[in-house]
Amino acid sequence: MNPMLRIGRVARLASIAVSVATAVAWVTACRAAEGSVIAGASVKRGRQSLADFGCGSCHEIRGVTGAHGKVGPPLTGVADRSIIAGELANTPENMVRWIRDPVAIEPNTAMPNLHVIEPTARDMVAYLYTLR
């Protein structure tokens, strides 16, 4: 192979590697700055959404104004629980699924389907995962 072609290929690969590393660093920095377990989700918007959707009428949620409900379980410490909804492994993805459509996971649940859209559920989970 022509040495000049090899140098050009190595330079392109190095440039791609730097671009990928920069993108990963940017996403990680944004996530760390926001404190979110879900890239791109907002802890602040999540706390507000929990209030807006009235989650505190059933749940006690530290940091959410008026969230002193006793119908559902308290959500303080939810990030440290091993399961959610009585059957799902406690992962951010599963919690998003649960918030979006609880009846699809547990048909007899008392938790209503509030028709939370994906980005909002992701924000809510970002906040809930700060409650350790």
pLDDT tens string 33-89 = 456 788 899 999 999 999 999 999 999 999 999 999 999 999 999 999 999 998 899
Question: Residue 37 has what pLDDT?
Answer: 80
pLDDT of 115 over the 50 cut: yes
Q: What is the mean pLDDT of residues 11-18?
A: 54
Task: Give me the pLDDT at residue 46, please.
Answer: 97
d(CA 118, CA 132): 23
Query: Which of 66, 39, 63, 59 is CA-nearest to residue 99?
Result: 59
Q: Is 120 exposed, middle or buried (0-12, 13-18, 19+ CB in 10 A)?
A: buried
Please state, in angstroms and rounded to a whole number, the distance separating the CA atoms of residues 117 and 113.
11
The answer to whether domain 41-128 has CATH 2.60.40.420 is yes
Query: Strand pairing partners for 83?
Result: 89
Asked if pLDDT for residue 96 goes beyond 80, the answer is yes
State how far the Cα of 46 lies from the Cα of 33, in Å rounded to an integer. 15
Task: Determine the distance from the C-alpha atom of residue 33 to the mean position of all C-alpha atoms in its chain, rounded to a whole number.
Answer: 14
Residue 48 CB coordination number (10 Å):
17
Evaluate if pTM is beyond 0.85.
Answer: no
Q: Domain residue spans in the chain?
A: 1-34, 41-128
